[in-house]
Chains A and B, each alone.
Chain A
């Protein structure tokens, strides 16, 4: 393209050809991220090595041994189980609760808008700090929630410090932090739905339960799917809440993937096992994120078409 030679462009001294321009613009951002790709490949290498920080001399390739060992390793199966339980419980409960709240707040009114802004607040608190807040509230000595539990007959309810209720406690904190995210997305989805089908159904006197399951829910499905996948991706990798609350304990009750990998690296200094764990987690999230991105792009196209 022959762009007209203007005083301004001549003054700038040099000209970037039109073809090179997009590369020049995106290169700095790329370079910053490529530096971070290198550690990723290093992690892949580590995962195929026998590598302990405490015995650097014994470092050598053992190929798939780290991975093969997982099959006969009860600690690994525990990690997988706890991670899936955590992700499953948080996503399902947050989805149900978030959908319920979105439906309650669907009508635009001053009160509803005010409440939806208030519900934004837990989402803005750092998950690690939210865990600390709940730790203070569930302290067996003076915690207000321990006191409330004792009022309903649950004496000596130990929340995160007992293996039987630790998962419940961290799931509760996760619900507190992230339900607002699902709520916001579904509320925006609900409010963007076309009104005609609902008006027609109301005219025909269709029962409301029928309207919900046959009109609202199907039309909302793309939003539900996007929100669910997004939360699933985050939840299966949860670290902040669990580490800040119990550091994976008591015992190994809450050693989800990232917590277990962290403890393997820094406490038992078993770098090989830690890396292999993270690669498995990465494989899971890679599949999930591909599905998510496709889904989300389709939704965005739709939103744009309607705008």
Chain B
């Protein structure tokens, strides 16, 4: 089968090079842009060699943007903090709620269990605005409008179905025999769950948690509809920043770089889990 001609090898190499350029170029370009002043950015033709500056990052981190029109306060670091807080707490809550439920769905075929599991999964596929638009009014009545609690609750729509279905698959893959043996030895249900089932499903729980974190971090529409400036995560904050800062392109690029670094770093650190999580266990890679 390995009778590849030189021509084919060259074509393959060329195609792969084009693919890598297409997918990597935007990331590299924005990264370079974040170290440029507006003057170098606006130069035509675009410059690849320039004197790098950290001024965009210092402006974002200190929260003071100095331009010809005066000094402008930017709340970008607050947005970054919001993203960290919202994603971490949402995933933590989803794990606490979702892992026991996943265990129940995997180990006990109780009445209506499949229907409930499907209903939960179907949340993943419903148009988010369908729920969000009426929810704005309910949140006003409940006093949850523009609160972290309200946002964390709604973020469960992203995190819970993911965790439930991925972790359930893991529990189903583990034979229940060890658990039976442990129970017969006289241990309680909870001890069995904590000492046997949880450690065995550890990799699955990690994969699901990681993926849920990335999805929560990358979410845009939930916070766009439900949060005002002081509670917004980076996805919404960066967009608002574009309109408010006007033409500070270097800062916009730096803000994008800071916003995507956490998810990119996580992805590189744990890419094997990601691939398995992304396919929702449909493929054993």
Contacts and interface: CB of A to CB of B under 8 A. Distances in A.
A257 interface: yes
Contact of A281 (B105, B130, B271): B130
A240 B1 contact: no
A121 B224 CA distance: 24
A279 B129 CA distance: 10
Given A43-B131, A185-B283, A22 B104 contact: yes
Interface in B27-47: 27, 29-30, 33, 41-46
B104 A26 contact: yes
B63 interface: no
A147 B46 contact: yes
Interface string B253-274: 1001001100110111001001
Nearest to B224: A243
B275 to A, nearest CB: 6
Interface stretch (B53-61, B67-75, B183-191): B183-191
Contact of A289 (B98, B122, B281): B122
Given A21-B108, A265-B133, A126 B218 contact: yes
A166 interface: no
A36 B129 CA distance: 12
Given A21-B104, A300-B169, A307-B284, A104 B19 contact: yes
B19 A101 contact: yes
Q: Which of A28, A32, A306 has the most CB of B within 10 A?
A: A32
Contacts of A23: 104, 110
B188 A9 contact: yes
Interface residues of A, number: 102
A176 B119 CA distance: 31
A209 interface: no
B23 A121 contact: yes
B138 A126 contact: no
Interface in B57-110: 97-98, 100-101, 103-105, 107-108, 110
A289 B108 contact: no
A61 interface: no
A86 interface: no
Contacts of A292: 125
Contact of A239 (B160, B173, B221): B221
A125 B263 contact: yes
B214 to A, nearest CB: 6
Nearest to A288: B125
Nearest to B12: A104
Contacts of B130: 39-40, 43, 275, 278-279, 281-282
A39 B135 contact: yes
Interface string A128-160: 111011111101011010010000000000000
A124 B260 contact: yes
A118 B271 CA distance: 10
Nearest to B131: A39
B46 A22 contact: no
Given A120-B274, A198-B1, A132 B129 contact: no
B42 A281 contact: no
A187 B237 CA distance: 35
Interface in B122-148: 122-123, 125-135, 137-138
Contacts of A286: 122, 125-126
B181 interface: no
A8 B188 contact: yes
Interface string B174-218: 000000000110111111000000000000000000000010011
Contacts of B27: 121-122, 125, 133
Contacts of B271: 117, 120
B164 interface: yes
Interface in A67-108: 100-101, 104-105
Contacts of B284: 188, 192, 303-304, 306-307
B151 interface: no
B229 interface: no
B118 interface: yes
7 contacts: A8-B188, A33-B119, A120-B271, A124-B218, A124-B264, A184-B279, A303-B282
| Shortest Cβ-Cβ A-B pairs, 3 listed | A126-B218, A25-B104, A22-B108
